[in-house]
């Protein structure tokens, strides 16, 4: 049963004061055998609002159509086209038309329900995955006096067995876009249409029902009555926003550029500035009113000389996607996006990952972490969950993702050279046969970052305890040896402490691991401790080695010197000769 606008307004009042213990109101339908349930409490948390660019299993349109058979045929190649028809008889008529127009009827489904218009984007259901990992419908009050359209979200939810949660806001799908990560955008129309709420209360409602913790409410830049954001901008990815562009002489130029400036200063869910892409609309062409369906982008074109540029703008912003242009009865405030509504894959394989960007320290390798949720309930095919990566223009390599618990997986790319640019994307697979990537398109548009090696210089290791003669005679030269290594493989210099207050100069350079042998003569009898330390070519010094004790109990006498000294005293010469015989 379609709910009159006045009854919806009454329900809004009831919702504000309804006790928390009351979970649902059941409304009997005279047109459907099933019963429609509105749940007023928010979905179980955590809630995640699904973005347009995520995996879709279908699309919702309405007959009489607002789009061409050519578009419907294109959509039916890959996904289920659900058509709203008023009766079984009308369903037969539409099916016959589909068959004659080349639509893949194997991918066609029907929702028999009364409707008032073909703007399924505006009144169709919004979708979330709730805290139980189940797809659910978010219903709301459609901001037009079209009671049959307003009833469609609840009717669709009932037909699919989805829970339907009633968000007590007046809204329209064309004035709402989300990144699938907790950030959404609308024009300030949402404020004026819900004047009974403060801005903070609206923010709280979208957080409770949609999981949105950042809600950008911005001025409408078009100055048009409809004030829908899809008339001038849209999310292409969590970190990409497309905004229309006009010549400086255009009456909305300043407002549009102000929006560009605003979003350029905001951060995406990845913590990075948004990448802002532009599409030129000098005569208010509806190029931003496009429809993303999996790996296809359907763009409304008008036959103008700017159509090719519009297609090129999408291709530059969305590498790897198939970008297709379609003519139609488009208007600047009403085009393809307004007339079709994507239906998310209820068994989606979801990969959540915050990309690495900028300069990343790679001293010990680069860690990649992702959360992988199989909403199908099937297990993950772990060997097929990998990170594809390559250095600069090299070949793709893979690193296995390892399960860490709680749906979290990680992998480490081994250390790369300083300054290398690493491109990468994540692949996951579950036992339902679904394969998902991050980013969504995978290899054609990978994430990338630059490696920075910041290993600090370390001093050489403590040299080994010197080896050599442990006992000898003063006046005689002896050799001593020590060695060490440098973790950075720097060249090494050695300094010897001979234990008598004498130090060598820095000797070298020696390569890391090479030994240093040095000679020394003690001039007096005694006991000495010999030690050595090292430094690298950046003057980082090691510790002193363990000491080596050297004893010099004797003195070395020079025989010839003594003979020369006593050459005129024959008696002493005779004694010396006898001593040295």
Active site positions, annotated: 338
Helix, strand, coil: what percent of the chain each, to 5? 20, 35, 45
SS3 261: helix
- Residue 506 CA to residue 529 CA, distance in Å, equals 19
Closest by Cα among 133, 131, 153, 120 to 41: 131
Judge contact between 463 and 482, C-beta under 8 A. Answer: yes
Judge contact between 136 and 165, C-beta under 8 A. Answer: yes
Sequence length of the chain is: 581
What is the phi/psi pair of residue 250, to 5°?
A: -70, 145
Tokens of 235: 């999310």
The per-type count for the chain, helices as H runs and strands as E runs, is 12, 37
**Which positions ≥6 away from 158 have C-beta within 8 Å?**
29, 32, 34, 35, 36, 37, 164
- Residue 573 CA to residue 564 CA, distance in Å, equals 9
> Over 490-525, what HEC string results?
CCEEEEEECCCCCECCCEEEECCCCEEEEEEECCCC
Half-sphere exposure of 389 (CA within 13 A, CB side): 28
- Residue 303 CA to residue 89 CA, distance in Å, equals 36
Partnered with residue 164 across adjacent β-strands are 137
DSSP string, 435-497: EEEESTT-TTS-EEEEEE--PPP-PPPPPPPPEE-SEEEET-EEEEEEE---TT---EEEEEE
Closest by Cα among 466, 434, 475 to 531: 466
Q: What is the DSSP letter of 192?
A: H
| 565 preceded by a cis bond (ω within 30 of 0) | no
- Residue 329 CA to residue 300 CA, distance in Å, equals 9
In order of 47, 367, 418, 452, 488, the CA distances from 455 in angstroms are 42, 17, 10, 9, 9
421-429/435-438 β-pairing: antiparallel
Distance, CA of 486 to chain centre: 39
């Amino acid at each position: 049963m379609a709910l009159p606008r006045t009854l919806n307004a009454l329900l809004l009042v009831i919702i504000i004061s309804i006790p928390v213990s009351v979970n649902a109101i059941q409304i009997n339908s005279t047109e459907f055998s099933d019963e429609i349930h509105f749940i007023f409490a928010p979905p179980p948390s955590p809630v995640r609002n699904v973005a347009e660019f995520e995996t879709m299993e279908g699309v919702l349109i309405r007959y009489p159509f607002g789009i061409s058979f050519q578009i419907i045929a294109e959509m039916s190649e890959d996904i289920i086209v659900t058509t709203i028809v008023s009766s079984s008889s009308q369903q037969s008529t539409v099916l016959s038309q589909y068959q004659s127009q080349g639509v893949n009827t194997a991918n066609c489904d029907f929702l028999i329900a009364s409707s008032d218009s073909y703007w399924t984007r505006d009144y169709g259901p919004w979708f979330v995955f709730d805290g139980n990992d189940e797809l659910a419908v978010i219903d709301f009050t459609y901001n037009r006096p079209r009671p049959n359209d307003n009833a469609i979200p609840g009717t669709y939810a009932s037909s699919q067995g989805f829970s339907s949660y009633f968000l007590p806001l007046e809204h329209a799908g064309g004035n709402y876009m989300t990144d699938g990560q907790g950030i959404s955008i609308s024009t300030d129309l949402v404020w004026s249409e819900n004047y009974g709420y403060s801005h903070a209360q609206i923010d709280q409602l979208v957080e409770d029902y949609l999981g949105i913790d950042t809600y950008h409410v911005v001025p409408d830049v078009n100055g048009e009555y409809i004030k829908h954001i899809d008339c001038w901008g849209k999310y292409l990815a969590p970190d990409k926003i497309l905004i229309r562009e006009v010549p400086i002489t255009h009456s909305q130029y300043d407002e549009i550029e102000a929006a560009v400036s605003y979003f350029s200063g905001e951060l995406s869910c990845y913590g990075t500035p948004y990448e802002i892409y532009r599409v030129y609309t000098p005569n208010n062409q509806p190029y931003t009113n496009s429809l993303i369906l999996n790996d296809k982008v359907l763009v409304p074109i008008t036959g103008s000389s700017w159509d090719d540029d519009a297609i090129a703008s999408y291709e530059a912003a969305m590498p790897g996607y198939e970008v297709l242009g379609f003519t139609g009865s488009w208007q600047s405030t009403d085009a393809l996006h307004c007339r079709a509504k994507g239906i998310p894959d209820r068994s989606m394989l979801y990969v959540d990952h915050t990309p690495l960007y900028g300069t990343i320290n790679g001293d010990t390798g680069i860690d990649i972490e992702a959360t992988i949720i199989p909403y199908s309930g099937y297990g993950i095919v772990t060997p097929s969950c990998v990170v594809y990566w390559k250095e600069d223009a090299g070949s793709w390599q893979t690193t296995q993702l390892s399960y860490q618990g709680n749906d979290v997986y990680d992998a480490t790319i081994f250390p790369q050279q300083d300054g290398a640019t690493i491109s990468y994307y994540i692949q996951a697979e579950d036992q339902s046969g679904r394969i998902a990537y991050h980013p969504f398109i995978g290899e054609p548009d990978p994430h990338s970052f630059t490696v920075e090696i910041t290993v600090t210089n370390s001093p050489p290791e403590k040299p080994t305890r010197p080896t050599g003669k442990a006992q000898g005679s003063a006046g005689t030269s002896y050799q001593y040896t020590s060695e060490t290594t440098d973790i950075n493989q720097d060249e090494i210099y050695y300094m010897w402490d001979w234990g008598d207050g004498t130090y060598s100069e820095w000797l070298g350079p020696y390569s890391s691991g090479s030994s240093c042998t040095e000679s020394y003569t003690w001039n007096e009898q005694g006991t000495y401790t010999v030690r050595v330390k090292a430094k690298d070519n950046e003057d980082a010094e090691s510790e002193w080695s363990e000491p080596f004790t050297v004893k010099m109990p004797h003195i070395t006498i020079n025989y010839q010197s003594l003979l020369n000294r006593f050459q005129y005293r024959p008696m002493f010469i005779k004694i010396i000769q006898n001593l040295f015989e």
